[in-house]
Amino acid sequence: MPGLFLEQFHEGQTFEHPVRRTVTETDNVLFSTLTMNPQPLHLDAEFAATTEFGRPLVNSLFTLGLLIGLSVADTTLGTTIANLGMKTVEFPKPVFQGDTIRARSIVRSVRRSRSRPDAGVVEFEHQAINQRGETVALCLRAALMRATPAPSPAGSSAAGGKD
């Protein structure tokens, strides 16, 4: 598994995620319609042209999902048990069709679970940055992470029988 186990995280650890993604009109229209969000700022170019932005905005929940998704391969792929919550979600700059988004994650805290000895909680600060170096989204996310599995007892086989 490429994801990290609880003990592999430490406060202040920073990940500059290498995968980037250019957002398309299809992304925005499909996400907005799949989630039943008829906001004309996302779907109606003529309406959006009359706003201060002059063009459609990318749905902020798509941006948030993309931000978290860009972080998964380097941090939690196969080692997360569950998302526990997100807080301090902010969108300081808009995202538009054609913007290329990259992500950075900073570990803000790590603690062993009191109720689950095989797991712990890692709090990540995720940041989405566009091609101009502007932060377009950020959030704090708590994830329940697997601890490193205990080694198998010496001499036992996976099938439980004798070799």
115 secondary structure, DSSP code = S
Separate counts of helices (H) and strands (E) for the chain: 4, 5
pTM: 0.89
User: Which token pair is 63?
Assistant: 């941006």
Name the burial class of residue 88, with classes exposed (0-12), middle (13-18) and buried (19+) by CB atoms within 10 angstroms of its CB: exposed
* 3-class SS string, 29-94: HHHHHHCCCCCHHHHCHHHHHCCCCCCCCCCHHHHHHHHHHHHHHHHCCCCEEEEEEEEEEECCCC
User: Which token pair is 42?
Assistant: 């996302």
Which superfamily is assigned to 6-146 in CATH? Hotdog Thioesterase (3.10.129.10)
147 contacts 117 by C-beta, under 8 angstroms: yes
Walk along the chain (163 residues) and give the pLDDT tens digit of each residue.
579 999 999 999 999 999 999 999 999 999 999 999 999 999 999 999 999 999 999 999 999 999 999 999 999 999 999 999 999 999 999 999 999 999 999 999 999 999 999 999 999 999 999 999 999 999 999 999 999 988 877 655 555 544 4
Question: According to the model, what pLDDT value does residue 163 have?
Answer: 42
Question: According to the model, what pLDDT value does residue 156 have?
Answer: 56
How far is Cα 2 from Cα 16, in angstroms, rounded to an integer? 15
